[in-house]
């Protein structure tokens, strides 16, 4: 009873805008994970490294005097470069996809330390005109409104660009490569090149997310990407489970699917905040995240198994 008494609904309410903002930023990363995991059918663990790379590049450039907004495309490119390494390890050197991405991820840990010079580099909103910051969310209703409006416009624009891109010939080539490599090659698609390209776009988005998140929390940290892939997967899967049916029936189904991935990330962080509020120790949160993802990944498999068994007994 005293446990329940100790829970303060107001503190949960106050923390929510920050969680939603965090979820929207991680939504960018989740879109990247969606590209590799769902469209390309490639389990890419590069992201744990490339998200920190994006943050490191952005924060260090800002500290060197570069305008915060100008660091965003550079962080995208840095992420894309990481994706290219994974892609080439896989396609040019024949290293299995997951292993290739782990190799890149591990090497990025050293590279990120080299970029930053040490494990953690702060960038304060007091000294720099950051694009996003937790301060904007907590600082009063006008700046909060502007922040969320800005984020929503940015995310909608990102969805629009991705919707367009995956409707082009090149986007079709990526989807065909992920769905059926034999078909793609038979139609003259260079599946190796396409894999590298998709990994670059995906990790570019992850790098961009890292830059935004580094500015948002006011620091780049070499460990900030640990378990990022799990959060990305959680967002993709939560989005699919909750909004999949809704999205697939619409016109512009693909745009709705992308939006549901971002919503998945937002919901993930809201639940995360809620569980923290219930006084779950924060060191257990990664375990909690992994269990959630494992359950949601298992559900479709177990469902199908059950229907198969039912079909057999008839």
What are the residues binding other proteins (CB under 8 A)?
165, 167-173, 175-176, 179-180, 182-191, 194
Minimal distance, residue 182 CB to other proteins, in Å: 5
Q: Closer to other proteins by CB, 143 or 190: give it.
A: 190
Q: Cβ closer to other proteins: 49 or 239? A: 239
Structure tokens at 39: 């469209």
C-alpha pair distances (Å), 291 with each of 32, 242, 270, 301 = 22, 18, 17, 16
CB of 218 to other proteins, least distance (A): 37
The residues facing 120 across adjacent strands are 221
- CA 128-143-75 angle, to 5 degrees, is 45
Q: By the 8 A CB rule, do 232 and 47 touch?
A: yes
Q: Can you tell me the distance from the alpha carbon of 84 to that of 195, in angstroms, rounded to the nearest whole number?
A: 9
Choice between 169 and 283, CB closer to other proteins: 169
Closest contact distance (angstroms) between CB of 188 and other proteins is 3
Sign of CA dihedral 187, 192, 193, 199: positive
Write down the least CB distance from residue 167 to other proteins, Å: 5
* CB nearer other proteins, residue 120 or residue 168: 168
**Nearer of residues 247 and 266 to other proteins, judged by Cβ:** 247
CB of 170: closest distance to other proteins in angstroms?
5
Tokens of 115: 């970029």
Minimum Å gap between C-beta 253 and other proteins is: 10
Structure tokens at 149: 């409006």
The alpha carbon of 180 is separated from its chain's Cα centroid by a whole number of angstroms, namely 25
Distance of CA 40 to the CA centre of its chain: 15
- For the packed helices 47-63 and 228-248, what is the interaxial angle rounded to 10 degrees? 110
Q: Any idea what DSSP says for residue 269?
A: H
Q: Are 198 and 36 in contact (CB under 8 A)?
A: yes
Q: Please give the C-alpha separations between residue 189 and each of 135, 140, 172, in angstroms, as whole numbers.
A: 47, 52, 10
Residue the block writes with tokens 């830059």: 211
Nearer to other proteins, 135 or 172 (CB): 172
Show the tokens assigned to 290: 């992994």
CB of 88 to other proteins, least distance (A): 16
Q: Which CB atom, from 8 or from 307, has the smaller least distance to other proteins? A: 307
């Amino acid at each position: 009873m005293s446990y329940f008494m100790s829970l303060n609904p107001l503190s949960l309410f106050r923390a929510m805008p920050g969680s939603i903002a965090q979820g929207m930023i991680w939504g960018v990363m989740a879109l990247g994970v969606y590209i590799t995991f769902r469209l390309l059918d490639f389990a890419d663990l590069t992201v744990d490294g490339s998200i920190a790379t994006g943050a490191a590049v952005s924060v260090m450039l800002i500290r060197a005097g570069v305008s915060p907004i100008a660091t965003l495309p550079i962080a995208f490119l840095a992420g894309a470069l990481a994706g290219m390494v994974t892609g080439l390890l896989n396609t040019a050197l024949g290293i299995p996809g997951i292993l290739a991405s782990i190799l890149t991820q591990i090497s990025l840990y050293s590279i990120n330390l080299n970029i930053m010079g040490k494990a953690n580099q702060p960038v304060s909103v007091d000294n720099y005109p950051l694009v996003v910051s937790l301060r904007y969310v907590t600082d009063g209703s006008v700046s909060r409104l502007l922040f969320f409006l800005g984020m929503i416009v940015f995310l909608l624009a990102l969805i629009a660009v991705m919707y367009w891109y995956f409707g082009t010939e090149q986007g079709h080539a990526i989807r065909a490569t992920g769905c059926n490599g034999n078909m793609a090659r038979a139609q003259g698609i260079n599946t190796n090149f396409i894999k590298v390209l998709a990994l670059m776009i995906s990790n570019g988005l992850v790098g961009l997310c890292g830059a935004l998140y580094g500015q948002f929390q006011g620091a780049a940290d070499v460990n900030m990407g640990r378990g990022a892939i799990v959060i990305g997967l959680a967002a993709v899967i939560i989005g699919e489970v909750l909004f999949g049916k809704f999205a697939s029936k619409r016109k512009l189904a693909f745009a709705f699917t992308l939006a549901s991935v971002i919503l998945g990330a937002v919901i993930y962080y809201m639940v995360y905040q809620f569980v923290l509020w219930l006084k779950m120790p924060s060191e257990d949160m990664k375990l909690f995240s992994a269990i959630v993802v494992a359950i949601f990944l298992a559900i479709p498999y177990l469902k199908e198994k059950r229907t198969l068994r039912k079909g057999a007994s008839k």
